[in-house]
Each structure stands twice: as C-alpha cells, then as structure tokens.
Amino acid sequence: MPRTLREVVFVDGVRTPFGKAGDKGIYAQTRADDLVIKCIRELMRRHPELPPERVEEVAIAATTQIGDQGLTLGRIAALLSGLPKTTPGYSIDRMCAGAMTAVTTTASSIAFGAIDIAIAGGVEHMGRHPMGEGVDPNPRIVAEKLVDPSALVMGSTAENLHDRFPEITKERSDAYAVSSQEKLAKAYANNQVQPDLVPVATRHQEQGWGLATQDEPPRPGTTMDDLAALKTPFRPHGNVTAGNAAGLNDGATACILASAETAEELGLPVRMRLVDFAFVGVEPEVMGVGPIPAAEKALGKAGLSIDDIGLFELNEAFAVQVLAFLDHFGIADDDERVNKYGGAIATGHPLASSGVRLMTQLARQFEEHPEVRYGMTAMCIGIGMGGAVIWENPHHADYGKEVAA
C-alpha cells in the first residue's frame, strides 16, 4: 500500500544547566542518568495536556555508554521518569551528534507512522566518563593507515583544520571565542536562556547541597589578551586552546517530538517543523569540516539555498570548525544570524546532549524572529562526520507553504 509521510514538529525542549567536568564541578557527585531523567520529568510537568501513555518512544544518546550512562539508557530513563512501563526506549551513540540523531531517528519513526509522539535527548557526564573511557580502537586503524592517529584526538583534528585553512588564524579563532562569551552573557542578561533551563538539586561531600540554575562554564569578560596567553596543548605553537574550544562538561537535554496531527489533537504547542536533515562522512583527520557537506546535502534535499536560512545554531566544538563553515558559505564571522545566544565555547559541550540544545535555542529564536522562515542546526562529529537539520518557523507568515521550485 502507498504511504504518505507525516509532518513532524518540535513541541518543546529543555536542558539542565551545563557544568564543568571534574571533582569540583557542580555535578561531580550527581548521576548522569538522573540529569536526563530530570529533563524528561520537566517536559511532562510543562505539558499536562500530554498523557504519559501517549509517549511511545524514548531515545537517549550518550557517547560513553558505561556506568550510569549505560544499560539501555532510554528505557531506564523512561521508567525512572514516571512514564508507563509500556513506554519503550533505547540508546544512541553518534558521538557529539547523539541527541541530534535521537531527534532525527524518532522523527523518522513519527513520519513513517510507526509512532505519534517521542522524547529524544542526550546526556554526557564527562567528569565521570571521559570521552573514550574503556574503548579499544581496532589496531588496523593505525597499522593499515586507514585513518591518521590524529583522528582519535579531537583537538588534533582542529589543528589539522587550521592547517587546511591557514586563513583561519589563531587570532581570528580567539576573536570568535570572545564573541561567543559576549553573546551568551547578553542572552543571560536578557533572560533568553533561562526559560529552557531545568534547575537541578546537587549534592557534594565537600561543597554540600546546592541548586544548579545556570551554566557553569561561561567566562564573561574574556578578552583577546586572556586567550592569547593560553597554552596550545595539542601542538607546540599551535592554534587550538582551552579558550577557543568547548570544554569538558556535564549536562543533559530532552525534547518532545510529535506528528503535526497529534500535536493538534492534544493541543501541544508547535515550536518548529522538521524540514529535512542529513548526516555525512568526511576525512576523520579533519572532522570539523563535516557540517559543510551535511548542510549542502540537507539544503539540496529541501530545495533550499544557504540564503534561505535566517538563523543558524552551529555547535562550537572548536572556533576553527565554525569559521570554516562560515567561510565556505560566504558568511561573515560576526553575522547576526549565527549563534545569537553564543555557543558551546561559552555554554559548554556535554557531547551527546548538545544537539537538542541547538534545537531548543533555535526554537526560542524563532519566537523572537517571526520574519525568519527557516533555521539550521548543524555540528561536526568525531571520527569524521557532520550533521545538519533544517527547521521551519511556525510564526512565519508563509509557514507550511511549499517551497518554490
């Protein structure tokens, strides 16, 4: 029988404040699974119009799936969040794009008609589980020279990207990083970030009880002089520093996705419509170029051009990676369409959780900018991949109309 794909909408998204990884971070003694459980519970609290039994799938991503990030995390999180025992769940791993993949995978199930509503998200506790903990890379990667060993060190891939694009200097990367800090500070001052944060009660043997209500990594007031003095740990006299790259962080995200018909039936808000998405593979040694071909593929499938995108949420794993994207598409470093609330250099990047942070922030910006019809969330992915998702703004006057050929 012929099938007609259904429209998929982004209902709502939340995240925990992001913390610094390590013994002194706000979540040092908080379980990873409890962070994502908190997000799911908050989504259900915010939407009493959504009966818990209507949630038909929970997909949760983690890059390091051991310990409190293991054991089929989506199912465990569903059970401990108070969803019915009839709600299934599963785990996803696509490194930094884990939550992004959780969204596109569950959205595909909704579009196909297998389910009507899903919760998708991600969590990473890099303090408890450093990236690569317990892994055993196949020796053929090096022995047969299938992949350069630098591909396994994300900071080294960023240095490789500087080599490929020498016009992206350290000074330019530092300037972009300073701008990210400034934009996030401004967004906090304007209360644009806080509505999507879930307060998290914390406990620490030395620091006692606390309540996490804002991101821990930001360094407002950072200057070019501050960044110029930082070491380049991945290469002597290199370009990548702790100041122009995302840090090691802890945090979680989650969102509700639904078919357009089901959202209308239940009275769920529609904050974005999924237009198209793409994941691609690139040379692992320069994984930061991944968002470029991913964006080109998604735009081509959607029948759009880069000029149709009015807002970008680009994950800032490294400044050089974002700048390479901007240069490729002829976008200025300080273009107001890009990362209006700052990015991961300031906010933090708890790996598998970050994709939904990008989406939640884009949805918030859509509300502020009804003149913008399309937005994009995109990110580079470890081991040589890129992902891009195109969304439509329901507040735009032409929302839902077909794209002109």
Catalytic-labelled residue, pool 129, 162, 255, 380: 380
Q: Give the model confidence (pLDDT) of 207-240 as tens digits.
A: 889 999 999 999 999 999 999 999 999 999 999 9
For the ranges 114-118, 206-210, 268-272, the lowest mean pLDDT is seen at: 206-210
For residue 311, report the phi and psi dihedrals to the nearest 5 degrees: -145, 135
The reply to whether 314 falls in a domain is: yes
The reply to whether 73 falls in a domain is: no
pLDDT band for position 141 (cuts 50, 70, 90): confident
Give me the pLDDT at residue 405, please.
Answer: 37
Give me the pLDDT at residue 61, please.
Answer: 98
* Domain CATH code at residue 303: 3.40.47.10
Average pLDDT for 254-267: 98
Q: Strand 272-281 to strand 385-392: parallel, antiparallel, or no bridges (unpaired)?
A: antiparallel
Give me the pLDDT at residue 402, please.
Answer: 74
Residue 355 has pLDDT above 80, yes or no: yes
Q: Residues with Cβ < 8 Å from 163, sequence gap 6 or more? A: none
Active site residue 255: no
Count of domains observed in the chain: 1
The reply to whether 367 falls in a domain is: yes
DSSP 189: H
Q: Give the model confidence (pLDDT) of 10-61 as tens digits.
A: 999 999 999 999 999 999 999 999 999 999 999 999 999 999 999 999 999 9
Active site residue 349: yes
Structure tokens at 379: 């990110």
The reply to whether 357 falls in a domain is: yes
Residue 98 has pLDDT above 60, yes or no: yes
Average pLDDT for 79-105: 98
pLDDT band for position 134 (cuts 50, 70, 90): confident
Active site residue 39: no
pLDDT band for position 119 (cuts 50, 70, 90): very high
pLDDT band for position 135 (cuts 50, 70, 90): confident
The reply to whether 287 falls in a domain is: yes
- Domain enclosing residue 352, as ranges: 140-192+275-392
Catalytic-labelled residue, pool 96, 129, 162, 255: 96
| Contact indicator for 276, 302 with CB cutoff of 8 Å | yes
The reply to whether 161 falls in a domain is: yes
The reply to whether 356 falls in a domain is: yes
Residue % of the chain over a pLDDT of 70: 99
Q: What is the mean pLDDT of the chain?
A: 96
Task: Residue 20: name the closest of 352, 349, 379 by CA.
Answer: 349
* Residue whose entry in the numeric block shows the structure tokens 């196909």: 112
Give me the pLDDT at residue 403, please.
Answer: 59
The reply to whether 363 falls in a domain is: yes
